[in-house]
Amino acid sequence: MREEPGDGVVDDPWARPPGGSDGHRPGDWGGEPEAPPAGHTGPLVSPTPRLRLARFAVAAAAVLSGIEGLSSVWALAETRSLTGDEPRGGDTRVDELTVSQDAIDRFNAASGVDGIVALVALLALIASAVFVIRWQNVVLRNQQGLGVDRPRYSPVAAGFSWFVPIWSLFGPKRAMNDAWRAAAPATAGSGTTNDWLLRAVPTLFSVWWAAWLVCQLVGNVLTRLPGDTLAGQTLIYGASIVSCVATVVAGVLFVLVMERITGRHDERITERHEARRHEAPAAGTA
């Protein structure tokens, strides 16, 4: 068995190009899929090449979220300053300010910068999702190659789970759990039954997901807050700071999650590679 340079695919007799030259596996167009030989779990692909881009994209999105948080702190400070100077305080409408023009200009500048940075951070987050899903596709496709007969999430379903309301509250976390569990060492037991779903998952995964949920839930509340008064603006910028901090924490933790899962999959690939290397001399002397 060998590992082709650059593609991360573990080669073996059944790991031929899927379905020949058309890129599809037997059975993709209907009928029963062709089963691999008994005891064979199929080819595996290293997630490492796609991890590099996903890690960079997530880190960039986290940095931009941190910058957004700082711009929100500035905007919050200017808003509170106006609130203290206005006779009606927080009840003052943003379009009816009576303070000096200099104070209004500072407030508008802070609000404008925060809006621009928030847009850039959002675009970076969307872009990072593309690279994360590309990486996720590899680790989820590996499930059957690792002996899981019936994975709960296909790569397509797991990709949609990030964006579908309600499902997005638990789907991506379950997919990451499954990617980790599927790559458990052989001593952890077979993955051919639902017992594999009972394998332990690191606490890191739950902490990451809690931070991500805080980011998402606060972000949803943020879009519904009225911003026509200074009090409303104060709430918006305060919520934005919380959301940005949660996003940064979730981003850092998710990089660690991806690295842990990738390392676990690569360990199984190395084990299979070594096993095939030892099988080859034995077959030659038989």
- For residues 248 and 272, the model is more confident at 248
pLDDT band at 63 (very low <50, low <70, confident <90, very high): very high
Encoding tokens for residue 240? 């934005």
Task: Quick: pLDDT tens for 207-247.
Answer: 999 999 999 999 999 889 898 899 999 999 999 999 999 99
**pLDDT(1) > 60:** no
Q: Confidence band (pLDDT; 50, 70, 90) for 280?
A: low
pLDDT of residue 15 exceeding 70? no
> Which stretch of DSSP H or E encloses residue 177?
helix 171-182
Is it the case that residue 49 has pLDDT exceeding 90? yes
Does 186 score more than 70 pLDDT? no
Distance CA 165, CA 162 (A): 8
Domain ranges of the chain: 47-272
H or E segment and range at residue 261 = helix 230-285
Average pLDDT value over all residues in the chain:
82
Between CA 262 and CA 58 the distance in angstroms is: 15
Q: What share of the chain has pLDDT > 90, as a percent?
A: 57
Q: What is the DSSP letter of 10?
A: B
The pLDDT score that the predictor gives to residue 36 is 38
Report the chain's terminal Cα–Cα distance, integer Å: 18
How far is 172 from 212, CA to CA, in rounded Å? Answer: 11
User: Residue 171: which of 143, 142, 133 has the closest Cα?
Assistant: 133
3-state secondary structure of 93: strand
The residue that leads in pLDDT, 271 or 61, is 61
Indicate left, alpha or beta for 19 from its phi (over 0: left) and psi (-120 to 50: alpha). Answer: left
Cα dihedral 113, 115, 119, 122 in deg (nearest 10) = 110
